[in-house]
Amino acid sequence: MTNQVISEAEETQPLRHIQNGRNSNEVAKVSESGVKDDSRREFASEEDEREIPLEVPEMDGEESAVWESEAAEVPPSKGIRWPALLAGVGIGVAATLAGVHLVSGKTPPPATTAPAVAQVPISQTVTVAPVESVEVAQTLEATGTVAAYDLLPVLPQANGLQIKQVLVAEGDVVQKAQVMAVLDDSVLRSQIAEAVAKVQSADSTVEQAQAQVQQAQSAQQEAEAGVEQAQAGVEKAIADAAQAKTGVGQAKAGVEQAKAGVEQAKAGIASAQAKLDQAQREVNRTQNLASQGVISQQDLEQRKTERLTAVQDVNKAKADLNKAVEEQNKAAEEVRSTQAKVATAEANISTARAALSSAQAKVNTAGSAVSSARANVGNNAASVRSNDARVKQLQTQLEQTVVRAPDSGTVAERIGRVGDVSSGSQKLFSIIRGNKLELQLKVPETQISQVKSGTEVRITSDSDKRIKLQGTVREILPLVDPQNRQATVKIDLPESELLRSGMFLRASISTATTPGLKVPAKAVLPQSDGGAVVYKLVGEDKVQAQPVEVGEISGGAVGDLTDAKVEVKKGLKAGDRVVVTGAGYLKDGDRVKVVK
């Protein structure tokens, strides 16, 4: 760590030309090493140089003057004032002489001019730092161009539309999906309105077709109910016919049974008539015998009774015959009635079957109507979908009239202008994605083997001294340009407001490390001839101007060399102590006071 700066020039107010009491042997001179007077400038940025206001003019005789620029900004005085100190010494000497004279009681001699008080040479207050032995990086120098890490083209998605608004300019930072331009959408909006009207019309047609489907389905249901009813009528007529046919059979059986009863009644009549005839003959015979007195009157009465019984039997047999005939006639009538019922049932069957056929025809017709209505619904629904798809397509195209940033970044190019007509093959903008830049270095093929991915790179610019950045080797392209035999090395760059795409930069790529020496950057004073010197501490209070050959600066911030180190290639050895603070005010051989 270097010591704190507390130089005499910084501790006092801006100095006036005063005598410092130094003799001619103590006058600061330039050493034979060729150190120039401009060695008082520090090896620093312009801002650091403004902190070193003093210039040492030519010395005249025994006087050496210390001058401070009136324009320099020097901190307020913190203590010692060298002119006041010298005046105090002179007053003290005069007071002492007066006191001696009064004590001796002698008249004082005539006043004489007191000799000038000898002034003690001033020692500069400085801080020192040891020369450090460190590992120094070996570098490969190359140049290249800053380019976008990923340059995104922004193209319009809608063709043939006029650019209505451009909302960003080159250099603007945009976010993903931010609106960059707006195309004229008036034609698309009228097309959307027309397509929406077609969709509404198709919706109405679909509703009508759906109502027709419902109506046809109702008719179909009614026809199907008629078919079921006709089918039931057919079945009932068939059942009635079967029942009538059964009744015909039963009636015919009754007729046959009645005929048998008639025949049986006729047989009974014949038998009763025969018995009657026999009984009449017996009565006639018995009457003759009774009149002759052959048989008794009782026998005659018995024979008459038998004849009367036979007459009753004949009458009964005739009554049975009449009844059997009536049963026969009734059975025949039943046959005719059931036969008529069979004919009616068969006619009903035909009628029911005709009704069934008619109902089935109605069902078929209703089914066709339903299918037709459904087909109309499908056609109209397809028309609705087609028109709806057209609306969505137009709405998508309407959204595409707003040109949005595909990703966050910085606008590198603005090509589109208000009034231009969009084309899907012509970009409107270019965006540096994520504001990320890279340095594309050109390295000879003979040196490309020294470059490794991940190596640190120091970036500087010839045109802007503020650019002092650290990058990293990201990629070494596999192809070598056959024209110039150079390969492209891509360097990741940190974010910086100083960088612009297309800038020409220099790069130092670390390739190896070797033992070396380093001193604080503020200890090195650049010379007008391109060289540099440091003030090396000899002993404990004397400095020697030492020319050095310097290398790269490391550490520190841009414009601030407080913590920076400089490689020393020649002129020093490890362990030497060099002046850091106050070096700009020294000359070779000056006495110094080292403070912590």
- Give the CA distances from residue 139 to residues 135, 304, 383, 448, in Å, rounded to whole numbers and listed in that order: 13, 178, 74, 13
pLDDT at 335: 84
HSE on the CB side for 132, CA within 13 Å? Answer: 16
For residue 562, what are the contacts with CB-CB under 8 A and spacing of at least 6?
522, 556
Identify the three-state secondary structure at position 459: strand
Query: 114 pLDDT band (50/70/90 cuts)?
Result: very low
pLDDT at 33: 38
Asked if residues 505 and 143 have their Cβ atoms less than 8 Å apart, the reply is: yes
Identify the three-state secondary structure at position 167: coil
Identify the three-state secondary structure at position 246: helix
> Mean pLDDT throughout 286-293?
79
In one-letter notation, the amino acid at residue 245 is K
Find which of 63-77, 245-259, 536-550, 553-567 is predicted with most confidence, using mean pLDDT: 536-550
pLDDT at 286: 81
**Token digits of residue 67:** 């001058």
Give 488-503 as a DSSP string: EEEEE----TT--TT-
Selected residue with higher pLDDT from 486 and 395: 486
Work out whether strand 429-433 and strand 151-154 pair parallel, antiparallel, or are unpaired: antiparallel
Query: 506 pLDDT band (50/70/90 cuts)?
Result: very high
Please give the Cα distance from 142 to 473 (Å, whole number).
13
- Kindly state the percentage of the chain with pLDDT values over 70: 79
The answer on pLDDT for 596 being more than 70 is yes
pLDDT at 556: 64
Q: Quote the strand ranges of 371-466, DSSP E.
A: 402-404, 409-414, 429-433, 437-444, 456-460
Please give the Cα distance from 366 to 358 (Å, whole number).
12
The answer on pLDDT for 438 being more than 90 is yes
Selected residue with higher pLDDT from 380 and 77: 380
Please give the Cα distance from 513 to 421 (Å, whole number).
59
548 bridge partner residues: 532
Instruction: Determine which helix (DSSP H) or strand (DSSP E) holds 379, and give its type and residue range.
Output: helix 297-399
Please give the Cα distance from 12 to 87 (Å, whole number).
16
For residue 470, what are the contacts with CB-CB under 8 A and spacing of at least 6?
456, 457, 458, 459, 494
pLDDT at 478: 93
pLDDT at 121: 58
Mean pLDDT score of the chain: 77
pLDDT at 386: 86
The answer on pLDDT for 276 being more than 50 is yes
pLDDT at 485: 93
Residue-wise pLDDT tens digits, 371-389? 888 888 888 788 888 888 8
All domains in the chain, ordered by first residue:
1-136+513-596 (2.40.420.20), 187-399 (1.10.287.950)
Residue-wise pLDDT tens digits, 322-374? 888 888 888 888 888 888 888 888 888 888 888 888 888 888 888 888 888 88
Residue-wise pLDDT tens digits, 523-570? 999 999 989 999 999 988 899 999 999 987 877 665 677 788 898 999
The mean-pLDDT minimum among 65-79, 141-155, 580-594 falls in 65-79
Please give the Cα distance from 306 to 283 (Å, whole number).
9
- 3-state percent helix, strand, coil for the chain, nearest multiple of 5: 45, 25, 35
pLDDT at 483: 93
Closest CA to 131 of 8, 273, 2: 2
Q: Could you tell me where the DSSP H helices lie in 494-533?
A: none
Residue-wise pLDDT tens digits, 467-496? 999 999 999 999 999 999 999 999 999 989
Please give the Cα distance from 182 to 158 (Å, whole number).
11
Query: 216 pLDDT band (50/70/90 cuts)?
Result: confident
pLDDT at 226: 83
What's the angle, vertex CA 464, arms to CA 462 and CA 469, rounded to 5?
A: 90
Please give the Cα distance from 266 to 256 (Å, whole number).
15
Residue 429 phi, psi dihedral angles, 5° rounding: -145, 165
Please give the Cα distance from 458 to 494 (Å, whole number).
11
Identify the three-state secondary structure at position 181: strand
Closest CA to 115 of 48, 21, 44, 194: 21
